Amino acid sequence: MPELPEVETVRRGLEPTLSGARLSRVRANRPDLRFPLPEGFVQRLTGARILRLDRRAKYLLAPLDRGDTLVMHLGMTGRFEIAVPEGTIRPGDFAREVKPDDKHAHVVFETEDGAVVTYHDPRRFGFMDLIATDQVDRHPWFSTMGPEPLGEGFTAQTLVRAFANRKQGPKTLLLDQKTVAGLGNIYVCEALHRAGISPFKPSGMIAGKRLGPLTTIIKEVLAEAVEVGGSTLKDFAAADGALGYFQHRFRVYDREGEACPTRGCKGVIAREVQAGRSTFYCPVCQV
C-alpha cells in the first residue's frame, strides 16, 4: 500500500498539470472502483476548474470551483499517467518506467491545455468521490484524523498526550490515524529504529524527553522519502512512472537477519508480527 511519501510524490507529479486546470472532458470507463463512483461523477467534473491539489494523510484532494472537492485514494495499485502535447512529464529524478495496461485505465481527465491524465488501477482498491468542500473536514474519512506529520501541528506534545498512560507499543499508536495522519508501517519502523525506541515498549513508559527527538526523526524520515520518490514496493510508481528509491535507505524494514546499521551495535535485525503487520527492529539498540 502506498504510504504518505508515495502519495505526496504523486501529488507533486500531478500538481503542475492539474492545479488551476479546467477539465474539458472526463471519462469513466467503469461505474466503480473500490466503491461506486458518485452519482453524476462525469457531469459534475466536466467544465470544472481544479483550484489546487492537496494531500491529507494518504488522500489526494482537488477542490473545484463548483464547491465540491474531488477526493482520490490510490489503494494498492492505483497510479496516474500524464500525457501532454510536449510529451511525457517526468517531474521526478528517475527514469525507470512502468508501462500501464490500457485495460486498467478506469478514469481519464482531459484539460483545456491538452493534457490527458489517466488513472490506472489493476486491482481497483483505489477510489474516488466528490464531497462538498465545506464538509470535507467533517466527512468520516477525515473527521477523526490527527495532525499531518510534516505539518507544524505535529509536535512532541502530540505524542506526549497520545502516549500518556498507554500500554500499547509506540508503533501501534503511531499507526493509529487518530494520533497522527498518514503514517504507515514502513516509515514507523524506520523512525523508531533511528530513535532507538522499541516498538513494543509500553508507550506510557517512554520518557517524555525522547518524544521530541522522535517527532523530529519522523519528519526527517518522511522528508527523505519524499525527496527520493518514496519506496517502490510491488506496483507503486510515481505519477510520471518513475520508481521510488527510498528502499535503498532502509535501515531495518525488510532486512531481517542483517546486521544492525547503528554504529557500535552488534545486534541483528529481527522481525515480529505486531497487530497483523511485520515489525522490523533491532532487539539490542532499540530500548
Task: Assess whether 131 and 190 both reside in one domain.
Answer: no
3-state per-residue secondary structure call for 96-148: CCCCCCHHHEEEEEEECCCCEEEEECCCCCCEEEEEEHHHHHHCCCCCCCCCC
The residue among 138, 169, 185 that closes a domain is 138
CATH number for the domain harbouring residue 249? 1.10.8.50
Convert the pLDDT of each residue in 30-43 to its tens digit.
999 999 999 999 99
* Residues 101-145 pLDDT 10s: 778 899 999 999 999 999 999 899 999 999 999 999 999 999 999
For the beta carbon of residue 11, count every other beta carbon within 10 angstroms: 22
Spatial distance between the Cα atoms of 53 and 97, rounded to a whole number of angstroms: 24
- The verdict on residue 150 lying in a domain is no
Which of 58, 79, 194, 251 is an active site residue? 58
pTM of the predicted protein model: 0.86
Residue 10 lies in a domain: yes
Q: For this structure, is 3 an active site residue?
A: yes
**pLDDT per position as a tens digit, 56-113:** 999 999 999 999 999 999 998 888 888 876 665 533 333 334 456 778 899 999 999 9
User: What cell numbers appear for 13 in the block?
Assistant: 507529479
Name the active-site residue from 90, 124, 271, 277.
277
Do 259 and 185 fall into the same domain?
yes
Pair 119, 223 in one domain:
no
Let me know whether 123 and 199 are in one domain: no
Claim to verify: residue 79 and residue 8 sit in the same structural domain: yes
**Short-list 73, 74, 50, 80, CA closest to 62:** 50
8 and 133 share one domain: yes
Question: What sections of the chain are H helices per DSSP?
Answer: 4-18, 41-45, 156-163, 170-175, 185-195, 211-227
Q: What pLDDT is attached to residue 239?
A: 56
- The CATH number that applies at residue 33 is 3.20.190.10
The x, y and z cell numbers of residue 171, run together, are 508503533
Task: For residue 83, tell me if it sits in a domain.
Answer: yes
Phi, psi of 240 (to 5 degrees): -100, 10
Last residue of a domain, one of 138, 166, 182: 138
Domain boundary among 106, 138, 170: 138
Residue 97 resides in a domain: yes
166 annotated among ligand-binding-site residues: yes
**pLDDT score at 228:** 72
211: Cα separation from own chain's centroid: 23
Identify the sign of the CA torsion 14, 17, 18, 19.
Answer: positive
pLDDT at 88: 56
| 123 annotated ligand-binding residue | yes
Cβ 82 vs Cβ 114: under 8 Å: no
Active site residue 277: yes
Query: Coil, strand or helix: which one is 163?
Result: helix
Under 8 Å between Cβ of 230 and 171: no
Residue 13 has pLDDT above 90, yes or no: no
Q: Is the pLDDT of residue 2 over 80?
A: no
What does the pLDDT average to over 173-181? 96
**Residue 6: what pLDDT?**
84
State how beta strands 116-120 and 79-84 pair. Answer: antiparallel
Same domain, 133 and 186: no
The boundaries of the domain holding residue 198 are 156-281
Q: Are residues 23 and 59 in the same domain?
A: yes
22 compared with 186, residue with greater pLDDT: 22
Q: Does residue 130 sit in the same domain as residue 163?
A: no
* R_g (Cα) of the chain, nearest Å: 20
Query: Does residue 209 share a domain with residue 133?
Result: no
Residue 256 pLDDT class (50, 70, 90 cuts): very high
Count: domains in the chain: 2
With respect to residue 49, please indicate whether it lies within any of the assigned structural domains: yes
Residue 148 lies in a domain: no
In this structure, are 101 and 164 located in the same domain? no
Domain check: are 20 and 73 in the same one?
A: yes
**Model pLDDT, residue 238:** 52
Q: Is 110 known to be catalytic?
A: no
Cβ count within 10 A of residue 267: 15
Residue 240 lies in a domain: yes
Rounded to the nearest 10°, the torsion over CA 43, 121, 89, 102 is -90
Chain segment 153-162, per-residue pLDDT in tens: 999 999 999 9
Does residue 239 belong to any structural domain of this protein? yes
Residue 93's pLDDT is what?
33
